[in-house]
């Protein structure tokens, strides 16, 4: 299954952050790296913990995984307590064993991590989970079969407002496992002199927090087959991290602001709009 975020995100954070240096210092600072996202309506599935590595050395997440930490999530304004356990099959991964411990929208949660001796660190962060919301309109309908056509008008969809969100992430998910070929015109679409870039068809990277609609440029439809459209509301921590990481993808090393105390990384939250829909894209 292939998944593409329209805003070109994903948290390759462990690798990116492990390579970070400050612009004013060449002294290596060993840090705890946290990578976790709470999902409204679900229990805590995964929080990753690693140590940072040296910039000029191969980064092996398993070798730098933190496997004996205490990882506790508490509710700040809701009765909630969950002590996560380590997954021995996936070094550095912590998860909840209590399926009844569901994350509630609009509530605030705090994570406290204590690493084992001899290098004891205490890392904390908190997030307020965006409210639930729904897709309210789409020019594509559930079960539609459509033909890839760059010259056709871009499809659009909109959703009801969430709360406590910093931005929305429209998302395309490809459901066929051997997916489908890249549309024949895809490379031509992106290299032709008259190619209409996504920002020329009213789609914006870094969607304003109150924007509740978007166009879907054809160029984002990369594979034929069954395609599902979803929208996520994400909190400030997640959005702030993405907005800083994207400019650094060109190779710039710079100090990043982390919403984490005692370590680096991202501990955020999101909720998924109801009304996700699936279509079939054909040549």
Residues 178 and 53 in one domain: no
Q: Calculate what percentage of the chain has a pLDDT beyond 90.
A: 55
Model confidence at 268, pLDDT cuts 50, 70, 90, reads: very high
Cα dist from 273 to 2, 127, 172, 181, 267, whole Å: 20, 19, 13, 28, 21
Q: Residue 203 is encoded by which pair of tokens?
A: 């789609």
Report phi then psi at 237, rounded to 5. Answer: -60, -50
The residues near 90 (Cβ < 8 Å, ≥ 6 apart) are none
Residues 29 and 108 in one domain: yes
- Section 65-73 average pLDDT: 97
Residues 261 and 154 in one domain: no
Per-residue model confidence as pLDDT tens digits over 102-112: 999 999 999 99
Residues 22 and 106 in one domain: yes
Between 206 and 158, the higher pLDDT residue: 158
155-159 β-sheet, strand order: 135-138, 155-159, 213-216
Residues 47 and 91 in one domain: yes
Assigned domain for 65 exists: yes
Residues 227 and 265 in one domain: no
Per-residue model confidence as pLDDT tens digits over 191-214: 555 444 444 344 444 578 899 999
Domain count of the fold of the chain:
2
Residues 158 and 114 in one domain: no
Cβ neighbours, 10 Å, residue 160: 15
The pLDDT score that the predictor gives to residue 36 is: 97
- Section 151-169 average pLDDT: 93
The pLDDT score that the predictor gives to residue 208 is: 84
Residues 43 and 19 in one domain: yes
Q: Kindly tell me if the per-residue pLDDT of 15 is higher than 60.
A: no
| Spatial contact of 53 and 132, defined as CB atoms under 8 Å apart | no
- The region of weakest confidence among 103-107, 174-178, 218-222, 260-264 is 174-178
Between 182 and 251, the higher pLDDT residue: 182
Q: What is the mean pLDDT of the chain?
A: 83
Q: Kindly tell me if the per-residue pLDDT of 4 is higher than 50.
A: no
Domain range for residue 204? 135-232+275-282
């Amino acid at each position: 299954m292939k998944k593409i975020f329209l805003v070109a995100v994903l948290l390759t954070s462990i690798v990116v952050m492990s390579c970070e240096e400050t612009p004013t210092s060449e002294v290596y600072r060993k840090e705890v790296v946290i990578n976790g996202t709470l999902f409204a309506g679900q229990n805590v599935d995964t929080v990753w913990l690693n140590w940072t590595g040296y910039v000029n050395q191969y980064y092996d997440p398993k070798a730098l995984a933190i496997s004996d930490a205490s990882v506790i999530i508490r509710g700040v304004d809701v009765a909630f307590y969950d002590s996560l356990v380590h997954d021995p099959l996936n070094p550095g991964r912590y998860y909840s064993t209590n399926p009844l411990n569901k994350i509630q929208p609009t509530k605030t949660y705090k994570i406290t991590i204590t690493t084992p001796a001899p290098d004891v660190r205490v890392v904390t962060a908190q997030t307020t989970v965006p409210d639930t919301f729904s897709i309210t309109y789409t020019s594509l309908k559930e079960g539609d079969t459509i033909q890839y056509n760059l010259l056709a008008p871009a499809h659009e969809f909109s959703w009801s407002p969430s709360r406590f969100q910093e931005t929305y992430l429209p998302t395309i998910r490809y459901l066929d496992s051997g997916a489908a070929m890249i549309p024949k015109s895809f490379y031509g679409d992106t290299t032709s002199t008259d190619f209409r870039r996504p920002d020329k068809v009213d789609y914006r990277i870094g969607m304003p927090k109150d924007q509740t609609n978007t166009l879907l440029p054809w160029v984002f439809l990369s594979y034929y087959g069954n395609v599902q459209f979803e929208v996520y509301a994400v909190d400030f921590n997640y959005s702030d991290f993405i907005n800083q990481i994207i400019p650094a993808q060109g190779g710039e090393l710079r100090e990043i602001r982390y919403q984490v105390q005692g370590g680096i990384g991202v501990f955020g939250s999101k909720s998924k709009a109801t009304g996700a829909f699936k279509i079939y894209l054909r040549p």
